[in-house]
Structures are given as C-alpha cells and as structure tokens.
Amino acid sequence: MSIRINADLQLNDVPGQLLRALTPIAEVGGNIVGIVHERSNVINGKIVVKVVFDIESEDLPIVLEKLRKSEVEVMRIGELKNRKRTTLLVKDVSNLEGISSMSAEGDYAIITIEAEDEEELERRVEGYEFIARSIE
Amino acid sequence: MKVILAGFGSVGIKVAEMLGSDTLVGVSDSKGAVYDEKGIDVSSLKELKRRYGSVVAYPAERLGSTKELLDIEADVFLEATPTRLDNDEAFRSISKALSKGMNVVTSNKAPIANHLYELEGIAERKGVELLYSATVGGGTRMLSIAKELASGAKIEAFYGVLNGTCNYILTRMLDEDLPFDFVLKEAKELGYAEEDPSYDLDGIDTALKLKIIAQNVMRRSMESTMVEVRGIRDISDRALELAGKEGYSVKLVGVIETGLSVAPRLVPKGHTLDVRGPENAFLFRTRFAGDIEMRGAGSGGSETASSMIADMRYALRI
C-alpha cells in the first residue's frame, strides 16, 4: 500500500547533500512530492530539509536504513493521512467509535468523526442520531 | 394587454400595484372573483380587501372563483395564491389557463414542484410561456441564472438556505440566546411566520424549492426528486450555543447531490451559506467553473412580485 510520508531531514550544509538524502527514496521507486529547505535554520553547519514523498509502506524501513548509512539524520517522520472527516452536533455521545475530537456542554456535543474512506465514514455517521451534520 | 390575477395577499397586492390599473381586468381570492374589462382600480381594490377581507367587495362583475375568471380572454394569468399541498386548485387553474393559450406566471411552488413536466408539455403544445422565477429565492431570480450556469459550467451539486422564516428563527435564537417557542411566537407577530408555520419549520417549503431546482435547472426526472426531509423543531438554543462556540451556525440547508435532502446542517462561520435573518444563499458546485455563490432577499411581497413582473415582461417580450 502506498503511503505519503512527511519527514524532516538534517543535512550538512555542503553541496551534494540533498542528493544523498533523496537518492534512497528514488532507489525504491518512491515519488518526491515536495521539498522545502529551511536555509535560515543552520545549526552547527547543518540545515533542515522538509521532504514529502509517496512510497510503498514495506519500502520505508529500507529507506530509513539507507539514510542512516548516508549520515542523514531523520529528525521527525510521520505519515500524512488524507482521512475523511465530518462534524456532527449530537445529543447522545455513548458511541465513541471513530471520534477524533469532541466538545461537550450540557446535553449536547460537537464531535468530529474520521475514517479512511467515504464509505467507512458514512457507516460511522449512521451510528449517530445527530441534530445537524457539517457541510463539507 | 389584459392580465388576470389569482391571489390578493402580500405578493398579489404588490404585483397588482406594479402592474397598474389599466392592464388588470380580473382578480380572485379565496372568496371569489371580480372582472372589469375596462380595468380594475388597484388602490380601491386594496382598500376594499383591507376593509372587508375579500376582493369581491369591489364594484364590478362578480364571479364565483378563479375557474370562472379564466373563462374570460386574457394575455397573461398571474397565479399568486399561497402554496398548499392539501388541494390542487392552483394546478388546475394553471393547467386551464395554459390550455386556453394564456401565458402563465406563478409564485406558487406546489404545482411547479409536483407537475412541472406536465404543465410544460401543455405550454409547449399551446405555444405559450410558463414562468415561475418567483417560486425560488424571491427577488433573486436564481432559477434563470442557474439555468445558464447549468448549460455551460455543468452543475454537479447544489446547496441552499432557501427558507427565510427558518433562517430568521435560527439566527435570532443564536444571537439573543432565546428558546425556539419564544422566537416562533415573535416571528408570527412580526409577520415573518404564517399562523400555521409547518411548511416552513418542517422543511416542506425548502423541499418544494429543491424539487423545482432539481427539475428546472438540473432536468432530473420527477421520480428521482424524492426529498429526505427533516425540519428545525428539535433544535434547542443550547445546541445552537455550543455550535456557535465551536465556530458553526446551524442552518436549514437543501442539498442536491445524488439524492435530495433537507436538514439542519452545521455551516462554518463565514461560509457562503452562513446568511443572517431572512436572507437566502445558494451555492452551485460546477464541473467547469468551480463553486458559484449567490445571496439575496429570498422572500417578501415586493421582492417576489418583482420576479413575477419580470417573468411577465419576458413572456410578452415587452
């Protein structure tokens, strides 16, 4: 399964380092979606580069190992999920399945429900007796 | 030019005033009809209606009903009676007028929402116009604009705040922290809500407007325009308050996607549909031109009457 990764990489601020950081991604057939250089943020001769890329999930450990060997430090890494979400105004919040945030007051609550896809989201929404649903 | 008018309430009176006395030869209301081929004096008709509760007090030939009034010859039949679902009198009047070769302009939603294609068929056979811009969005003439959008940009979905009464009530409940029952009584006293406000509060008025848009603009079949409807009676001021704190307004929204639905929806503050008081808002999601938004006075006698007059002028090409 293809996943979208958002990573902050720390590189030496010398020519050729960016290529060294991106090559492992390219080698496993990953797709670089975007790169941002934080040139103003140089600490001890190192800069931070933010990279977003798509990759097969099973290839991620290979990329991380290659980056480690290339002396590129992975400062932060995470999956960017394009999850479906909707917000409901409800009276009963006994069902907590799929709730990503909730704000309650008195008898009422505003809840946000998330799911991987539209179908799953609709299935979860059906589990609630809601007063109003958000316009997406 | 000779014009016949059915309905002498808030819309009908404004239409008559805009028309002037020379062209209006017949008027009917729920108690009967009057006819004068030389023209009806609108200001005295208005005064007699106010004083005696019906147009039949006017000194002219008296007829039993709209049906009889339609036996006379006229160029245009203006139908401005209130929308009702418990009888099909308006449908029968419109059908008769078209069959007789009169152009028809109406503000009545029921006959258009439930019999549009049948009435269009009669109008086409007789070579006359059937126009109903006043049924949706009052004075905004949104149907005409939407039809033009549909032909080029291709409308894929529609979202609308279409009922001024509900929007007035929801806005006031939130702004002043007032309970539903109190605001409803207030709305009745101010004339924003009917004595029986069921059509508005239960979402029926919005559903009829949605059916008209789905058929007129998107050319959906009658069978595919069943509407899932939920009104605003269950919404408490506490629920609105919480929604407000979280950055939402609650609006009664009509939606046309694959199906048609009317329900209270959470609308982010500042969104196109976050309109206040009796205002209407329309959002068209198009394939080729992105989102197109409109807002405007969706109800009111003179706004709705202005749409009827524009339709009439179009029908007669004047």
Q: What is B187-220 written as a DSSP string?
A: HHHTTSS-SSTHHHHTTHHHHHHHHHHHHHTT--
pLDDT of residue B314: 93
Report the residue from B159, B238, B265 with minimal CB separation from A132. B265
Q: Report the Cα–Cα distance between both ends of chain A, in Å, rounded.
A: 27
For residue A50, pLDDT over 80 is answered with: yes
Are residues B234 and A131, on separate chains, in Cβ contact within 8 Å? yes
What's the predicted TM-score (pTM) here? 0.81
- pLDDT, one tens digit per residue, over A56-70 is 989 999 999 998 888
For residue A79, pLDDT over 90 is answered with: no
Query: What number of CA atoms fall less than 13 Å from residue B70's CA on the CB side?
Result: 22
Taking the mean position of all CA atoms in its chain, how far away is CA B15?
14
Q: Report the Cα–Cα distance between both ends of chain B, in Å, rounded.
A: 11
Catalytic residue among B49, B109, B209, B211: B209
Residues 79-118 of chain A whose Cβ lies under 8 A from any Cβ of chain B:
87-89, 91, 103-110
pLDDT of residue B90: 96
For residue B136, pLDDT over 70 is answered with: yes
Residue, of A115 and A74, whose pLDDT is higher: A74
pLDDT of residue A43: 76
On whether any CB of chain B is under 8 Å from the CB of A33, the answer is no
Closest CA to B105 of B204, B12, B199, B28: B12
For residue B317, pLDDT over 90 is answered with: no
Q: What is the DSSP string of A67-120?
A: HHHTT-EEEEEEE----EEEEEEES-----TTEEEEEEETTEEEEEEEESSHHH
B154 carries an active-site annotation: no
pLDDT of residue A127: 86
- pLDDT, one tens digit per residue, over B233-261 is 989 988 999 999 999 999 999 999 999 99
pLDDT of residue A105: 82
CA distance A32 to A24: 11
Mean pLDDT of chain B: 93
- pLDDT, one tens digit per residue, over B98-128 is 999 999 999 999 999 999 999 999 999 999 9
CA distance B167 to B187: 11
- pLDDT, one tens digit per residue, over B83-96 is 988 889 999 999 99
Are residues A110 and B250, on separate chains, in Cβ contact within 8 Å? no
Residue, of B121 and A128, whose pLDDT is higher: B121
- pLDDT, one tens digit per residue, over B154-175 is 899 999 999 989 999 999 998 8
Please name the amino acid found at residue B79: E
Mean pLDDT of chain A: 85
Report the residue from A91, A104, A132 with minimal CB separation from B250. A132
Q: How far is the CA of B201 from the CAs of A26, B95, B174, B180, B303, in angstroms?
A: 59, 30, 16, 11, 22
3-state secondary structure of B179: coil
pLDDT of residue A96: 64
Residue A53 and residue A31 in contact, taking contact as beta carbons nearer than 8 Å: yes
Q: Which of A4-18, A30-44, A122-136, B58-72 has the lowest mean pLDDT?
A: A30-44
What are the φ/ψ torsions at residue B288 (nearest 5 degrees)?
-110, -15
